[in-house]
Amino acid sequence: MIALLYQLADDELVIGHRDSEWLGLAPHIEEDVAFSSIAQDEVGHAALFFRLLEELGQGRADDLAFLRPAGRRRNAVLLERPNGPGTYLDEPRFDWAYTVVRRLAYDLFDAIRLEVLCSSSYAPLAQAAAKVRREERYHLLHHTTWFRRLATGTDESRRRLEAAVAAVWPDVGGLFTPGEVAPGPHFPVRPDELAGRWAERMAPLFAEVGLTWPGRPESAAAPGADGRLGQHTPDLEGLLSTMGEVYRTAPGAAW
Amino acid sequence: MVTEGAIWAALADVRDPEIPPVSIVDMGMVHRVTVAGPRVRVEIMPTFVGCPALEIIRRDAEDRLRAVPGVEEVEVAFVLDPPWSSDRITAEGRRRLRSFGIAPPPPGSAGAPLLPAPEEVPACPYCGSTDTHLENLFGPTACRSIYYCDGCRQPFERMKRV
C-alpha cells in the first residue's frame, strides 16, 4: 500500500515539475496557460498522495515531497527526463514533440492505473482515485489532441513527432514495472495486464494518423534504470535540487 | 442553541475567493454540517484537488462560523467522497457565475464528453449568443476553460464539467 502511494505521489510530482518548466516557453500563450494549469493539477494530486502517506505515518507530507534523495524516489524514469537540451534558466531548447508524446504515454498509463485504483480495497485511495480521475480526463484529451495535430500538421511536425516516439518508447516499459507493489486487493491488476490495456488503447491512435506502431511495451525498465526500484538518472538529481531549493533554504517558510 | 440552519446561513457568506459573487454553498461545495452543542463540523468537497484557494476557504469558513452566536469549536474538513461535481452548482450559483462572466456547464453534464457537441456550446454570459467556440480547454484556474464569443467578440470562461 505504502509503496504504491510513493509511486503515485512521485510520478505526479516529477511530471508536474517538468510541466511547470514550460512556463513562458510553450509554443503559444494558450499553451502556457494550459501547461501551468496541468502542472498545478499534477502537483495538487501529488500533495494529496503525500498526505495519505503522512496519515500512514511516513512523515510530514512536505518533507516527503522535498527532502527525500533520488534513491528513495519511486517515479518512472520517463517522467524525470528533461524537456530537452538546456535548462529553464540557461538556453532552454526544449522539445515540444517529446513533451507531447511523453505526456500522452503517461496520461494513458495514469488513466488505466486510476481506473484500477477506483476498485482498490483501501477506501481513502479509491476515493482519491475517483476524484483525480475526473481531472485527468482533461489531460489525456489535451495531449491526444496535440498528438493528432503534430502527426497531421506539417512534414516537420510529423518528423519531430516520429523522433519523439523513438526517444520516448525505450522508457515506456518503466511505467509498468511493479517495484515493491504486489498485485492484490489494494491494486488488483498484474503489470503485464496494465501494459496490455495500454497498448490496446494506444495502437489505434497510431493507426488513425498513419504512424508505424513501435510495438507493445514490455513491463520492463532499461537495465539499471528502474525508477520503481529507486534507480534514476542524474537528471532527477538536478530536478530535486531545483524543486527543493526554497524548502531547504527557508524551512517552514509560508507564502 | 446553535442550529444547523444558522450554520448553513453563515456558510452562505463564505465566498469563493476566485469568484467573489459566488458562495461555497452556491458552488455546492458543502457536503455536510454537523452540530453537537457548541461544536460544529463542516465537510467541504474541493472542486479541484490542487485548487490553491482551499486553505483560504477553510480559514474564511472557520472565521465566519466562530462568529455565529453559541459556537465554540469549529472543524472544517475536506472530503473526497462524494467527489464534487459541476452538477452540484445551484441555480442561484449558475446565475451568479454568469453575472461574473463565467458560463456554467449545463446541469446533468458530469461525465459527459469533455468537448461539447456543436448543438450544446455554451451561451456567452455577456450577450447570450451561442456563436461561441472553445479557445483553450484550460483556463486561469483549474476549474475553468476559455471560450470566445464570435457574437460580441469577447473571450469568456466556462466552468469545466467534472
C-beta separation of B132 from B53 below 8 A: no
pLDDT interval class at B11 (50, 70, 90): very high
List the CATH number of the domain containing A172.
1.20.1260.10
Instruction: Give the range of the structural domain holding residue A218, as residue numbers without chain letter.
Output: 2-249
At A13 the pLDDT is: 98
In contact, A12 and A45? CB cutoff 8 Å: yes
B136 touches chain A (CB under 8 A): yes
| Distance of alpha carbon A53 from alpha carbon A27, whole angstroms | 37
Count of structural domains, chain A: 1
Q: State residue A255's pLDDT score.
A: 63
The answer to whether residues B70 and B97 belong to one domain is no
Same domain, B114 and B62: no
**Averaged pLDDT in 10-residue chunks for chain A of 255 residues:** 97 98 94 96 98 97 96 98 92 96 98 96 96 95 97 98 97 95 90 94 98 90 90 97 92 74
Q: Is pLDDT at B119 greater than 80 in this prediction?
A: no
B107 and B155 housed in the same domain: yes
**Dihedral sign, CA of A145, B122, A114, B24?**
positive
Structural domain harbouring B70? 4-78
pLDDT digits 0-9 by tens, B15-66: 999 999 999 999 999 999 999 999 999 999 999 999 999 999 999 999 999 9
Instruction: For residue B50, give the nearest of A30, A44, A134 by CB distance.
Output: A44
Question: Is residue B64 located within the same domain as residue B97?
Answer: no
Q: Is the pLDDT of residue B120 over 90?
A: no
Q: pLDDT tens digits, residue range B127-138?
A: 999 999 999 999
Q: CB of B142 within 8 Å of any CB in chain A?
A: yes
Mean pLDDT of chain B: 94
Is pLDDT above 90 for B117? no
Residues B66 and B115 in one domain: no
**Cβ proximity of A136 and A128 under 8 Å:** no
Residue window 50-69, chain B: list those with CB within 8 Å of chain A: 50-52
**In this structure, are strands B154-159 and B102-103 parallel, antiparallel, or unpaired?**
parallel
Beta strand B73-78 pairing with B144-149: unpaired
- In this structure, is residue B84 part of a structural domain? no
Select from B40, B57, B78 the last residue of a domain. Answer: B78
Confidence (pLDDT) at B121: 86
This complex has an ipTM of 0.91
Whether A138 is in a domain gets the answer: yes
Q: How many domains does chain B have?
A: 2
Residue A132 in domain: yes
For residue A56, the tally of other CB atoms under 10 A from its CB is 13
Mean pLDDT of chain A: 95
Residue where a domain terminates, one of B53, B78, B103 = B78
What's the CATH code of the domain at B33? Answer: 3.30.300.130
Residue A175, pLDDT score: 97
Same domain (yes/no): B68, B104: no
| A254 domain residue, yes or no | no
A-contacting residues in B 63-122 (Cβ below 8 Å): 80-81, 83-85, 114-115
Decide if pLDDT at B92 tops 80.
yes
* Min Cα–Cα distance to chain A from B3, Å: 30
pLDDT above 90 covers what percent of chain B? 87
Residue type at position A67? L
Reduced to 3 states (helix: H, G, I; strand: E, B; else coil), residue B49 is coil
Residue A255 lies in a domain: no
Decide if B83 is inside a domain. no
The sign of the dihedral angle between the CA atoms of A121, A43, A64, B54 is: negative
Q: What residues in A contact B162, CB-CB < 8 Å? A: 134-135
Domain match, B36 and B62 both: yes
Cβ atoms A214, A165 nearer than 8 A: yes
